């Protein structure tokens, strides 16, 4: 039976840790959802971290209250705001040091126990 050299084992451990961190980050990014209402509040889009529209709520009667151009402006404004919010959330995840994320996760887990 051959044993693995300590340097090789350290490299394998570091690679495994990196894979886990990447998977955790990907999971956090995939969970980003931004929902910012339109200026008059009748439209609420849901946008993911990549800026994709994933859902759209239009309050009852909203379409009847606006002209076509006004409704388009409401929808587009809400999508722009939601996209900007999702981008901010993404930047927070990308700029947060792993140590802070791990500490926050540990604190959250301790609070649930």
pLDDT for residue 97 is more than 70: yes
**Taking 90 as the threshold, does the pLDDT of residue 104 lie above it?**
no
Phi, psi for residue 34 in degrees, rounded to 5: -120, 130
User: CA-to-CA distance for 48 and 15, rounded, in angstroms?
Assistant: 29
Q: For residue 55, give the nearest of 40, 85, 30, 75 by alpha carbon.
A: 75
Does pLDDT of 113 surpass 60? no
76 vs 68: CA distance, rounded Å = 12
- Residues 37-64 have a mean pLDDT of 95
Name the pLDDT band for 110 (thresholds 50, 70, 90): confident
In the predicted model, what is the mean pLDDT of the chain? 90
Percent of the chain past pLDDT 70, that is, above it, reads: 93
């Amino acid at each position: 039976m051959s044993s693995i050299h300590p340097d090789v084992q350290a490299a394998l451990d570091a690679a495994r840790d990196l894979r886990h961190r990447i998977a955790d980050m990907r999971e956090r990014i995939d969970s980003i959802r931004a929902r910012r209402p339109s200026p008059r509040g009748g439209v609420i889009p849901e946008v993911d971290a990549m800026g994709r529209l994933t859902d759209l709520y239009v309050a009852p009667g909203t379409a009847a209250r606006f002209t076509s151009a006004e409704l388009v402006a409401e929808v587009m404004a809400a999508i722009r705001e939601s996209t900007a919010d999702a981008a901010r959330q993404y930047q927070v995840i990308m700029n947060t040091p792993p140590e802070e994320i791990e500490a926050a996760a540990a604190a959250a887990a301790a609070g649930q126990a």
